[in-house]
A and B are shown apart, each in its own frame.
Chain A
Amino acid sequence: MITRVPRIAPSEITPPEVYFSRRALLAGALATGASALLPAAEAPQAQGAALTYTANPQYSVKDTPNKYEEIAGYNNFYEFGTDKDEPSRNAHTLKTRPWSVTVSGEAEVRGTFDLDDLLKGLALEERVYRFRCVEAWSMVVPWVGFPLSSLLARFKPTSRAKYVGFTTLYDPRQMPGQRVAVLNWPYVEGLRIDEAMHPLTLMVVGLYGRVLPNQDGAPLRLIVPWKYGFKGIKSIVKIDFTSVQPRTAWNVAAPNEYGFYANVNPQVDHPRWSQATERRIGAPFLAARRPTLPFNGYAEQVASLYQGMDLRRYF
């Protein structure tokens, strides 16, 4: 069992003015400029600027990652259309720079921050995580990002911060799917604060070593590997610390089908389909279906977060 994240004493946290200072060194977090762009011939799959990161084998699974074109060509990102191939075709309209993130609620440090300022000083790491969609398919993805806890700590959440909510950009001009009321826009997701501070919870800015493609949630998205994929909110513009549970998009849309917790659980079926097994995208014909693991295989690390909870009720 991985121990819980130690509570960070306020004195240990570097003052935000240092973090958010434009004069601070970039520290190689984001390699920008044309020099970072490899010629297309050398990198036929992954596009976007290369990132500087270190691999984190401790938090990586051994499974073979899915191909780039699978991860960037098969997306649920309803802001760009409800078919799986629509986000990759439509998400080019999203402008990911400049990008700002507004921090509000039960935290000492609030305000609107430029994303590049927020990212300064955060060491990027690559983690190969299992990804399990609520629709019973799965992938294995080499994300590049940083623990959410290291970002949240900078805002000094107060003791009243029991939950943290996230909001996706709302701009139907950039996100044409928002012109249709399929969900109650903007998309909102949230975590209990201990889930948010768990070392597995990742803020993602990259994929396959490069800047995240728009259709995968650029420029900033959440990944909670033991929860169904819809918890991993994309293109985040707002972080809100609250004392009450956030009203999350899918839970509002169909509360009997999508819970707030949405932990991967083969024992608790979706009302309309089984969650006992899943199909691994990209696996060969007749060898793709595999059993779904409790907490998507991360039970050892996260099951203790839910001790004593009825997971059928809090699905």
Chain B
Amino acid sequence: MNPSADAEIKTTHAPDEIEQVRRMVQSCIQCGTCTGSCPNAFAMDLTPRQLWQHVLLGRREAVFHSRTFTLCSACYFCTLRCPRGLPLTEAMHALKQAAARERLPRYRPVTAFFRHFMESVRRHGRVNELEFMTLYFAEMKNPLLPLRYSGLGMRLTAKGKLPLRWPLRRKRPLEALFRKAAELEEGR
């Protein structure tokens, strides 16, 4: 655990976020059904069961140094099978939301993707794939990243499924909803 990463976490509001998630999983009995059901557990540094244990103990450094919650693909197997009926997929979402809100640098490759997706929805009401991927590439500043998508992009364009036009209309049809939702969430 390097010192700069420690400083990054201490300057955030992570304790509140952990407390909210702790309430969601507080009756966890550490049976490990979630881990056994998770299709992504093989790639995680902490198994889901271990992650919940850290949450229960309020160890925010361990939670926010782990990649585990970013690897949740929302398949809902753990939620379906949890013998305590805990909303585990939602708890994973809550951790993703905390990482996005705090803009923790270590999660940026994942949170930037979703943030730009939402920005495109905010501007146009529906997602514009070309625009949001362009904004995402711009933030990531990795010249090799777009290459990973170029083959697929060209195939989709050839099939007429990815119109190569930048959206011109800027009516921002969902602006009021986005603003009101943010106001209520910040005030809670």
Are A and B part of the same complex? no
Q: What residues of chain B have their CB less than 8 Å away from a CB belonging to chain A?
A: none
Q: What residues of chain A have their CB less than 8 Å away from a CB belonging to chain B?
A: none
